[in-house]
Each structure stands twice: as C-alpha cells, then as structure tokens.
C-alpha cells in the first residue's frame, strides 16, 4: 500500500438520501473507486429491495463488495472488516481513492475504529447484567439500547426476543461499549474524510414513501418470491432486512399488499431516524445538506470544498 496517500472518503447518511449517486459522481471527480458499506447490498439476488447502484454506474466506476454473498449465508462484521480493508489497501496501492458508501453503522465502525473481532470467551457476567436489565425494564428497553448502537441488528430482531437482543449486544460489544463509542480507538491506518448527507425530514420521509412504491413497481414482490423459492425463510438473517421481511406475511396470505407496503414505509422511516441517531455520535462528520432541486454538482462542491487538489481542479474546470 502507498505510504503517501491514505485518504479514504466516506459517504454516509440515512437511507434514501442519494448516497450511491453522490458517491458515483464523486468517484468520477477524484479518480475514486467505491466500496460498499451496506449490509444488504452485499447479498446476491437482492437487487431491488436493497436499491443497489445501477448497472450503468457499476460499469462506469469500479464498485467493490456488492452482490457477492449468498443470502443463505450468515455474513459477519468480522468478514466485512477484513474484505473492506483489503479492498481499500488495493485501491490506494493503485493510486486511486477509496470511497466507502452506505449506512450500516457497525460495518462503518469496523473500518473507522480499531475493532478486534477475534473470537473471545463469552462474558457470562455481562450477559447476566443484560438479561437482568431486560427482566427489570423489559426487552423493549434493551431493544432501544441495541437500536442506538446497531440499528441494522435492531431492525432484524423483534423487540420481544430478549435472547437475540442480548446476543446482538454482545456481538457489538466485541468492539465497543453499548453506552458510547468513546472507548473505541480510531483506525490510524487511514486518513478518513467523513461526509454525511442530510435533508429536511419531511422531504426525506416523502422520498422514502415514493421509493417504496417504485421498488414494488420494479418487481420487489417477484424478487422476494424467487428468494423464497430458493428456500429462504424469515429465519435467514438476510430476509430480516426491511423490504423483505414485510412481504412474507403478504405472500403467506396473512395480510394484504396495502398493509405490507405501509409496513415497509414505516420501518424504513424508523430506520432512517435510527441512522441519524447513529451518525450524530461521530465527532468527525462533515454534514452535507441536500436541498430540493439542487444539482448533484452542488452537493459535490460542498464535499470537495476543503480539499486543495479538488479546489484546483474545480477552478480549472470553471475557467474553461
């Protein structure tokens, strides 16, 4: 890996803020390559519901860690961390700029911080503390704690499933405290430039609702049918993802399509809110506000405003 360039861009933000599009045009501007940081987009056969980047964008700019894991497999954060750092190192070694894109907080933490996912013995004392908290305040209380640190896991686990909630918290605590990220040591291997996209909440929620309709019309129901025909059930971690789990009751005849669509919208909005809560915990985030009608180029100008090389390139472009 090059010792002169350690810059890694991160484009984060809640779902439906346009991260993939912004990252694509950013990559075109800075000679970058995109590394996925979304826990659903890494799965094969889950293109529509996960809103993967378009084939056109993937062909125009190298995209890594998309569409390579069988949805029947249980892919871990430790596996992601290893592969992501390998990709980042390879991109830097070739003189290009890695751009991490996505909203999966624990995946992001695994790269931002020096998190050790090596096998550790179960801390039975800590497990009992968590179980006692659940017994005293209810499993929903623990579920809220889990949502604050790992919203993706929380979205997959029912608030009443105390055992799975406790195990998810234990998994998170392999790399940090449930109470804060203050104890995590920064990964000094890279120079991170962390940008989080944000927008007016009502506009974001409207975008979410409209995208759900778009995904349904694009064939999401048939996509879930195909996954079910492969033997996938709600017991598979991949099928606990938003946009997939809500369609199982519909396909089983337990509810109607209108209800299923409403549940997807509601759960996606809640997920976006949890993602914002997660992002506010970082000290090194540069917030980039997206306004209605604003061109992608204006968003990129906000991101590149503090980058000397990019400033020069922009000036040259504008003078031509």
Residue 19, marked binder: yes
Residue 110, marked binder: no
- What does the alpha-carbon distance between residue 158 and residue 222 come to, in Å, rounded to a whole number? 25
What is the model's pTM?
A: 0.81
Residue 15, marked binder: yes
- Summarised one tens digit per residue, pLDDT across range 254-300 is 999 999 999 999 999 999 998 998 898 888 899 999 999 888 888 99
Residue 14, marked binder: yes
Residue 13, marked binder: yes
Structural domains for the chain: 7-115+184-319 (3.40.50.300), 124-172 (1.10.20.140)
Rg for the chain, CA atoms, rounded: 20
Instruction: Give the pLDDT confidence score for residue 284 in this predicted structure.
Output: 87
**For the chain, first and last CA: distance in Å?**
35
Residue 17, marked binder: yes
Burial bucket for residue 31 (CB in 10 Å: 0-12, 13-18, 19+): exposed
- Summarised one tens digit per residue, pLDDT across range 197-246 is 999 999 999 999 999 999 999 999 999 999 999 999 998 989 999 999 99
Whether the Cβ atoms of residue 149 and residue 178 lie closer than 8 Å to each other: yes
């Amino acid at each position: 890996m090059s010792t002169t360039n350690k810059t890694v861009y991160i484009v984060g933000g809640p779902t439906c803020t346009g991260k993939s599009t912004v990252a694509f045009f950013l990559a075109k501007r800075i000679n970058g390559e995109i590394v996925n940081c979304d826990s659903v987009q890494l799965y094969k056969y889950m293109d529509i519901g996960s809103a993967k980047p378009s084939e056109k964008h993937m062909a125009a700019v190298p995209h890594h860690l998309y569409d390579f894991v069988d949805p029947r497999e249980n892919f871990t954060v430790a596996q992601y961390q290893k592969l992501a750092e390998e990709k980042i190192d390879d991109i830097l070694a070739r003189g290009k700029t890695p751009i991490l894109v996505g909203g999966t907080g624990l995946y992001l933490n695994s790269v931002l911080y020096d998190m050790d996912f090596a096998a550790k013995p179960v801390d039975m004392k800590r497990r009992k503390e968590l179980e006692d908290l659940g017994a005293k305040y209810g499993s929903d209380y623990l579920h809220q704690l889990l949502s604050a640190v790992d919203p993706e896991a929380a979205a997959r686990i029912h608030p009443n499933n105390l055992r799975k909630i406790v195990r998810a918290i234990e998994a998170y605590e392999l790399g940090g405290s449930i109470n804060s990220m203050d104890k995590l040591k920064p990964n000094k291997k890279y120079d991170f430039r962390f940008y989080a996209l944000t927008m007016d909440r009502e506009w974001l929620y409207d975008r979410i609702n409209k995208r759900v309709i778009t995904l349904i019309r694009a064939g999401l129901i048939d996509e879930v049918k195909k996954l079910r025909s492969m033997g996938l059930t709600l017991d598979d971690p991949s099928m606990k993802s938003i946009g997939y789990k809500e369609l199982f009751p519909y396909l089983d005849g337990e509810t109607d399509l209108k209800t299923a669509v409403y549940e997807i919208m509601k759960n996606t909005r809640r997920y976006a809110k949890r993602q914002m809560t997660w992002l506010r915990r970082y000290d090194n985030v540069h917030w980039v506000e997206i306004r209605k009608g604003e061109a992608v180029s204006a968003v990129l100008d906000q991101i590149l405003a503090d980058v000397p090389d990019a400033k020069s390139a922009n000036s040259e472009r504008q003078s031509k």
